[in-house]
Amino acid sequence: MARNETLIQYFEWDLGPDCRLWRQVSAQAGFLKRLGITGVWLPPAFKGQGGCQDTGYGVYDLYDLGEFRQKGGIPTKYGTRKQYLSAISALQKRDIQVLADIVLNHRMGADHTETVQARTVDRMNRERILQDLHPVDVWTAFTFPARQGKYSGFQWHWQDFTGTDMDDGHGSRQILLFEGKHWNPNVSPELGNFDYVMGADVDFTNEEVHQELYSWGKWYTETTGVNGFRLDSLKSIDSHFFEQWLKAMHQTGNHPDLFIGEYWSGDVFVLKNYLEQCRHCMRLMDVPLHYHLQQAASSNGHYDIRNLFHYTLSETDPGFAAAFVDNHDTQPGQALESWIMDWFRPQAYASILLSRCQLPIVFYGDLYGLKRGNPPVPFLREMIWIRHNLLTDNIVDLCDDDPQKACWMAWGRHPVIVLYTIADWKQRSFCEPRLAGRTITDITDPGHTLTFDDRGQVTVTCRPGGLAVYLLKEDWMKLKKVRIHLQ
């Protein structure tokens, strides 16, 4: 991929159920292009069990993209099928790639219950049986009566699932393993076996399920024309499945070839092992880097910033890493809440946008603000523009072995000098003869300008716990002219 690629996750968990996101995407396509966004990760587009209240992860019908009157209405939380396809088209007309969020692990909101024999297992160790086979009534019959077989006649029944977490007959919520089933061995060993997450757990060893997932994938790829996928909950899905499935998807539609997986682990060696198992068929979200950023923000100035990228995918496997600051799962109030403190968010984005990260992902809530009140991240729009217009791979570290300070210079057509600190006021002196006599401006404090002396020496400075991003005067003037169009 090109050096200046930048993706945006274009949703956050708390968006209202107003069915307007697809129309917003279409209206914002031109702005995203001017900003320097090259790819948009859209939320799950299929009907969830909660209808227009569902974020899309409570999957009910993969074929309903906001077309059928199911689960209380026609549109999904984000709009109708027609609006979804229009949003994709609006982005692609501006050479912005579109990633669809694909959720295959489970189904929720079944149409009928079925009676089946099942074993109760320990939530903390899914390999431990608490109760042997006994009859249970479970929500596993997905017949989609409103769709009436359009696009696919496949109906889901208990045989297509490994287990679930509710016995409707007794009103109890326990993890149930169906008769004749076993948890998939090719998943994370967390909690004994992490095959089960929620709802009715899809059985990836079932041949009919396999065929249906391939058929649906081809239908979806051809119907939407997306450029790639963000793949949800990899640690709970057979690690051998996606290598062949993605190859098959690449052969149809727009031949999607940008794939980003979510395997939630802060251990880089776990992620590297998964990449080996799936034969590097995708990038993975750099969860270890996210946690490093959180630790730096929460350390009260005691984190060693020199270790920020140590044991991260962005350092060890940069071509298979997707760096991010936060997302819908880590935002306040969510299951994986690990929100990076607001004071450090500009520094965190400088770390992934203005350094060596090949494919950073910007969070919707940081560009537009969160519905719950968190404001947009200061200078984020300017940093995206700088990345797109001024940066290349030529990064020169300017650190002087200070554990509380990061400083580097990115050489593109012109230089960009970045300095931030997690503690006291800092400065850094260096010499660059090619810049002798040139003036630079800090975009975070435009009144602060510095001039290299006749030997090319300068001392750059940064406020306590702050960020400074210096541009040559002429580049600052260009950014200043376009700033109004980035608002």
We report the CATH number of the domain holding residue 413 as: 2.60.40.1180
| Helices within 239-369 (DSSP H only) | 241-250, 268-277, 287-298, 313-316, 345-353, 364-368
Model confidence band, residue 3 (pLDDT cutoffs 50, 70, 90):
low
Q: 286 and 161 in one domain?
A: no
- What is the spatial distance between Cα 92 and Cα 144, in angstroms, rounded to a whole number? 32
Model confidence band, residue 2 (pLDDT cutoffs 50, 70, 90):
very low
Structure tokens at 155: 């109906």
Q: Is 232 a catalytic residue?
A: yes
Q: Which of 342, 366, 390 is the last residue of a domain?
A: 390
- What is the spatial distance between Cα 417 and Cα 108, in angstroms, rounded to a whole number? 50
Q: Which of 343, 370, 390 is the last residue of a domain?
A: 390
Q: 346 and 297 in one domain?
A: yes
Mean pLDDT of the chain: 95
Of 156, 113, 157, whose CA–CA distance to 135 is shortest? 113
Q: Judge whether residue 362 has pLDDT over 60.
A: yes
CA 77 to chain centre: 19
In a domain, 226, yes or no: yes
The pLDDT score that the predictor gives to residue 4 is 84
Tens of pLDDT, residues 423-464: 887 788 999 999 999 999 999 999 999 999 999 999 999 999
In a domain, 190, yes or no: yes
Q: Which domain holds residue 33?
A: 7-104+208-390
Residue 105 known to bind ligand:
yes
Helix (H, G, I), strand (E, B) or coil at 265: coil
Q: 116 and 33 in one domain?
A: no
Q: Judge whether residue 414 has pLDDT over 60.
A: yes
Q: Provide the strand spans (E) within 142-298.
A: 161-164, 176-178, 200-202, 228-231, 258-261, 283-285
Structure tokens at 264: 């939630």
Please compute the mean of the pLDDT values over residues 331-348 and round it to a whole number.
96
Cβ atoms of residues 147 and 155 within 8 Å: no
Which member of 232, 286, 326, 475 is catalytic?
232
In a domain, 1, yes or no: no
DSSP 228-245: EEEE--GGGS-TTHHHHH
Cβ atoms of residues 58 and 108 within 8 Å: yes
pLDDT > 70: percent of the chain: 99
CA 331 to chain centre: 12
Cβ atoms of residues 48 and 109 within 8 Å: yes
Q: Judge whether residue 125 has pLDDT over 90.
A: yes
Q: 140 and 80 in one domain?
A: no
Residue 201 known to bind ligand:
yes
For residue 359, what is the DSSP state? S
| Helices within 317-398 (DSSP H only) | 345-353, 364-368, 380-390
Q: 404 and 368 in one domain?
A: no
Q: 202 and 94 in one domain?
A: no
Global pTM?
0.96
Q: 370 and 320 in one domain?
A: yes
Q: 306 and 214 in one domain?
A: yes
Please compute the mean of the pLDDT values over residues 338-355 and round it to a whole number.
97
Residue 195 known to bind ligand:
yes
- What is the spatial distance between Cα 209 and Cα 223, in angstroms, rounded to a whole number? 21
Tens of pLDDT, residues 184-224: 999 999 999 999 999 999 999 999 999 999 999 999 999 99
Q: Is 168 a catalytic residue?
A: no
Q: Which of 374, 390, 406 is the last residue of a domain?
A: 390
In a domain, 2, yes or no: no
Please compute the mean of the pLDDT values over residues 126-134 and round it to a whole number.
97
In a domain, 40, yes or no: yes
Which member of 262, 304, 317, 402 is catalytic?
262
The β-bridge partners of 486 are none
Q: 235 and 152 in one domain?
A: no
pLDDT > 90: percent of the chain: 90
Residue 475 known to bind ligand:
no
Of 28, 36, 44, whose CA–CA distance to 91 is shortest? 28
Instruction: Spell out the residues 6+ positions from residue 486 whose beta carbon is closer than 8 angstroms to its own.
Output: 31, 34, 35, 381, 382, 385
Cβ atoms of residues 205 and 152 within 8 Å: no
In a domain, 273, yes or no: yes
% helix, strand, coil for the chain, step of 5 = 30, 25, 45
Considering just the CA atoms, what is the radius of gyration of the chain in Å?
A: 24
Q: 471 and 424 in one domain?
A: yes
Question: Between β-strands 415-421 and 405-411, what pairing exists: parallel, antiparallel or unpaired?
Answer: antiparallel
Please compute the mean of the pLDDT values over residues 367-386 and round it to a whole number.
95
Q: Judge whether residue 236 has pLDDT over 90.
A: yes
Q: 291 and 330 in one domain?
A: yes
Structure tokens at 124: 């903390």
The β-bridge partners of 426 are 462
Residue 301 known to bind ligand:
yes
We report the CATH number of the domain holding residue 119 as: 2.40.30.140
Q: Classify residue 433 as exposed, middle or buried by CB count within 10 Å of its CB (0-12, 13-18, 19+).
A: exposed
Please compute the mean of the pLDDT values over residues 122-133 and round it to a whole number.
97
Domain tally for the chain?
Answer: 3
DSSP 44-74: P-SEETTGGG--S-SEEETT-SS-S-BTTBS
Q: Judge whether residue 399 has pLDDT over 70.
A: yes
Q: Judge whether residue 1 has pLDDT over 90.
A: no
Cβ atoms of residues 231 and 259 within 8 Å: yes
Q: 400 and 385 in one domain?
A: no
